[in-house]
Amino acid sequence: MTRPSRRRLVIRALIAAPAAAVLFLALAGPWLTAAQPGHIVGRPYAGPGGGFLLGTDSEGRDVWVRLLTGGRPLVLVPVIAVALAALFGTALGLLAGYLGGAVDAVVSRLDGLLLAIPPVLVLLLVLQGWGYNPITLIAVVVLTGTPFVSRVVRAETRQLIRSGYVEQAIGLGEGTFAILTREILPNVVRPVLADAGTRLALAVSITAAAGFLGFGPDTPNWGAMVGQNLEGITLAPWGVVAPAVLLALLAVYANRAVDRLAARIGRTGGAS
Contact yes or no for 140/128 (Cβ under 8 A): no
Would you give the distance in Å from CA 237 to the centre of its chain? 26
* Residue 4 belongs to some domain of the structure: no
Domain containing 231 equals 69-268
User: Is 50 exceeded by the pLDDT of residue 68?
Assistant: yes
pLDDT mean over 201-218: 86
Weakest mean pLDDT among 7-11, 70-74, 124-128, 159-163 = 7-11
Residues of the chain with pLDDT > 70: what percent? 90
- Domain-located, residue 150: yes
Is residue 60 one of the residues assigned to a domain? no
At 149-201, the pLDDT tens digits run 999 999 998 888 877 677 677 666 677 787 787 778 888 888 898 888 888 88
* Residue 173 exposed, middle or buried by CB count within 10 Å (0-12, 13-18, 19+): exposed
**What is the pLDDT at residue 267?**
62
What pLDDT is attached to residue 2?
55
Over residues 114-135, the pLDDT tens digits come to 999 898 899 999 988 888 889 9
What tens digit of pLDDT does each residue of 85-120 get?
A: 999 999 999 999 888 889 989 999 999 999 998 988
For residue 21, being part of any structural domain is answered with no
Q: Is residue 134 part of a domain?
A: yes
Closest of 222, 216, 220, 271 to residue 244, by C-alpha: 222
For residues 86 and 27, what is the distance between their CA atoms, to the nearest angstrom?
23
Number of domains into which the chain is organized: 1
| pLDDT value of residue 266 | 63
Least reliable range by pLDDT among 19-23, 31-35, 40-44, 174-178: 174-178
Q: Is residue 242 one of the residues assigned to a domain?
A: yes
How far is it, in rounded angstroms, from Cα 22 to Cα 28?
10
Residue 8 domain-assigned (yes or no): no
55 is a domain residue: no
In this prediction, residue 149 carries a pLDDT of 94
Rounded average pLDDT over 132-153: 93
pLDDT of residue 239: 92
**Cβ-contact 224, 106 below 8 angstroms:** no
Cβ neighbour number for residue 17 with a 10 Å cutoff? 10
pLDDT the model gives residue 159: 87
Handedness of CA 34, 38, 41, 45 (dihedral sign): positive
The length of the chain in residues reads: 272
Q: What percent of the chain has pLDDT over 90?
A: 35
For the chain, give me the number of helices (H) and strands (E)? Answer: 11, 0
CATH number assigned to the domain comprising residue 159: 1.10.3720.10
8 A C-beta contact, residue 144 and residue 138? no
Of 193, 216, 228, 203, the C-alpha closest to 66 is 228
What local confidence, expressed as pLDDT, does residue 61 receive?
Answer: 94
